[in-house]
Chain A
Amino acid sequence: MTKKKLFSGIFAVVLLLSVVLGGCSGSTDSKDKGSKGDVTIDVFQFKVEFKKQFEEVAKKYEKDNPGVKINITTVGGGEDYGAALRSKFASGKEPAIYNVGGPQDVKDWNKKLADLSDTKAADAAFEGTLDGVTKDGKVLGLPFNQEGYGLLFNKDIFKKAGINPEKITTLAALEEAVKTLDGKKKDLGLKAVFALPGKETWVTGLHLSNAFLAPEFDNNALNSFAAKKVEFKYGEGFKKVLDLQNKYSVQPTVSLDYAKQVEELFSLQKVAIIEQGNWTYGSIAGIDEEFANNGVGLLPIPVEGYKEDSIPVGIPMYWAVNSNKDDKTVEESKKFLDWLYTSDEGKRTVLEDFKFIPAYEGYDASKISDPISKEIYKYVENKKTIGWAFMGYPTGWGQEELGVQIQKYLSGDADWDQVVENTQKSWEKSRSK
């Protein structure tokens, strides 16, 4: 009897130990690597599209700079990244380089952001691109790239309908063109003129709204971040462009999503115009490469009473360096970012492999690879741009409040005044917290 008990006791201990030790086994082998003065830079980034190219560049950098090791972790887009980054920090494995979006992120992560003012990249960054991440004279982030959006149109269809896209630089001209297209819908093989994706609240609540709200914030995300109120100064124009898109769109717009808008309708040439940006190039090329390379043009979003010939261009995300890391790691991280954006090798990669629209000076713009990005860069060169003030909207306001209210408007369950009133209220409410 006692023997049995003893045996079962031993068995239990073994079982317990195996569980406890099993949990430890993962971490024991990683300890010896940090010797010989090596520096490990952990990068935690969000851009899934260029993961592979980025990893290759990092490998190259490791080869050229012995003693530096770069670990890249990629967690995809938007809300998931924010949550993943938080848990990464909470787990104690803090990355050395990570991404921040705008003023709200800078405020949230304030204590973990290193000053990057002394980097070469910060000097080379285009004027205005650092506004959103500058605090008390310190530059806390370096821009990834520039991105822009407007009204993408099908060149072929415009030609067949006899419309000259270069003349569409006003709202009136756009309305005229849309009506012409609508009249010839059948001959052109179109389902409708537009595809308005009401389901994607980022398209309506962030991107479209930005064109009309940025002017009242002087095109600066810091101003919208500090603003206690939103006026909808160009709200009438906003309504007109939204109505125009909705009226001539494939219905029902409330449940229309990105895939349907870009892939099913625009890429297959069932609609003539969509409101999207350079990121759609990959999706369109995936379906019809010929069309993506030669058939897509870009029209401005007309903001009545302000600029009717400009497109919104901005910085989607910034690189940040974790100030909690030791000085050496911080230094090496800065060096890596500098190399990536200011060395010749780095520049080439950024343009040709990452296919970015550069946010820094000293790039050969003719090497920008896809036609939509090229068009956007033309607008940048001609200074026909509107800033991305939506990065300074109250957290979640653009998508969860404005975008949702617009859905309500599109369903006919609210009129425009209610949309404005409700979203103004929620803006003030989140700013008074």
Chain B
Amino acid sequence: MLRTRDLSYWLFLAPVLIALSLVVVVPLGLGVYYSFTDWNGIEVGSFVGFENYINVFQDEEFMAALWFTVKFSIVSIILINFFGLSLALIVTSKIKSSKLLRTIFFMPNLIGGLILGFIWQFIFMKVFDGIGTHFGIENLQGWLSTTETGFWGLVILMSWQMAGYIMVIYIAYLESVPTELIEAAEIDGASPFQRLVYIIFPLVAPAFTVSMFLTLSNTFKLYDQNLSLTGGGPYKSTQMVSMEIFKTAFVESELSYAQAKAVIFFLIVAVISLTQVYINKKREVEM
């Protein structure tokens, strides 16, 4: 623990503090200030108090986007963690090419979200359509042109991208499970399934929390994949919160209103993150 807080302590800290306050604290404060005005991006007219905030809660579009985001997040979290854990179990088992497989599974995560969106757009709209037309499968045609296919398109894209990342976290925990415990269980006659459920799962439980909140905050703040894959279409039904806020600000030019939405969004994300920290800390104590 560093206790001596003399001049050099603050001087060393200063670059970071200055940078942090310039790019995080000041804009945040300004943003909150703007959300109480009728700012149009050019000049501040007058204070409007909580008017923007009241309007947000009557804004059907914002609520629809929020609801869509929540639905998307829940489904994605379950699927990403399921696939992530499955992949981790595969590559930690005794198969030969596990090192290579790890790299391959992790790779989608290295591609930028925008590009991934366009790649998958191609797959959904051309490849799916091609296969669908060829074999006469109607379910594969016209993807991304309905709300449902747009939703599942986004879920598939996110699962594919993030499963590898989450896999790495699970691998770390899985490899720290003591082999003698598993051997003991084996000798006691536990089946592979029982070993998984009663020995391995409890020991990798902390990984669940970490992964869950990582995926949660990632899917909740999603913007680029959303933009490039569906663009919110059809008729804004696959539009998520970040995109809704961006559109309010830069398409409809209601900057102060968008700012109010952003503040509310910030609060939601902050609550989620703080809950994560709280639960993690609690678990650490229990361990």
Residues of A within 8 A of B (CB): 5, 8-9, 12-13, 15-16, 19-20, 79-80, 82-83, 86, 89-90, 104, 108-109, 111-112, 198-199, 251-252, 254-255, 395-396, 399-400, 404-405, 407-408, 410-411, 413
Contact = CB atoms under 8 A, between A and B. Distances in A.
Nearest to A399: B251
B253 A396 contact: yes
Given A16-B14, A396-B253, A411-B145, A5 B8 contact: yes
B18 A396 contact: no
21 contacts: A12-B8, A13-B11, A19-B18, A80-B250, A82-B253, A83-B249, A108-B40, A108-B41, A109-B42, A254-B145, A255-B145, A396-B247, A396-B251, A396-B252, A404-B235, A405-B235, A407-B234, A408-B235, A410-B234, A411-B145, A411-B146
Nearest to A110: B42
A198 B250 contact: no
A13 B146 CA distance: 60
Contacts of B6: 5
A82 B253 CA distance: 9
Given A20-B18, A79-B250, A411-B235, 6 more contacts: A13-B11, A86-B41, A112-B42, A252-B142, A255-B233, A404-B235
Contacts of B54: none
B251 A255 contact: no
B146 A89 contact: no
B144 interface: yes
Contacts of A413: 235
A252 B19 CA distance: 49
Contacts of A109: 42
B42 A108 contact: yes
Q: Which residue, of B15, B125, B144, B145, has the highest number of chain A Cβ atoms within 10 A?
A: B145
B113 interface: no
B230 to A, nearest CB: 8
Contacts of A86: 41-42, 255
Given A9-B8, A15-B15, A255 B125 contact: yes
**Interface band, chain B:** 20 to 34
B22 to A, nearest CB: 9
Interface in B227-266: 231, 233-236, 247, 249-255
A16 B251 contact: no
SS of A interface (majority): helix
Given A5-B8, A255-B144, A400 B234 contact: no
A176 B42 CA distance: 51
Nearest to B141: A252
A181 to B, nearest CB: 22
B187 interface: no
B145 A252 contact: yes
Contacts of B14: 12, 16
Nearest to A18: B15
Give 5 closest A-B pairs by Cβ, nearest first.
A12-B11, A396-B252, A255-B145, A252-B145, A407-B235
B130 to A, nearest CB: 14
Contact of A395 (B146, B235, B253): B253
Contact of B142 (A19, A83, A90, A251): A251
B184 interface: no
A199 B233 contact: yes
Nearest to A19: B15
Contacts of A12: 8, 11-12, 14
B7 interface: yes
Interface in B181-230: none
Interface string B108-149: 000000000000000001000000000000000010111000
Contacts of B251: 79, 395-396, 399-400
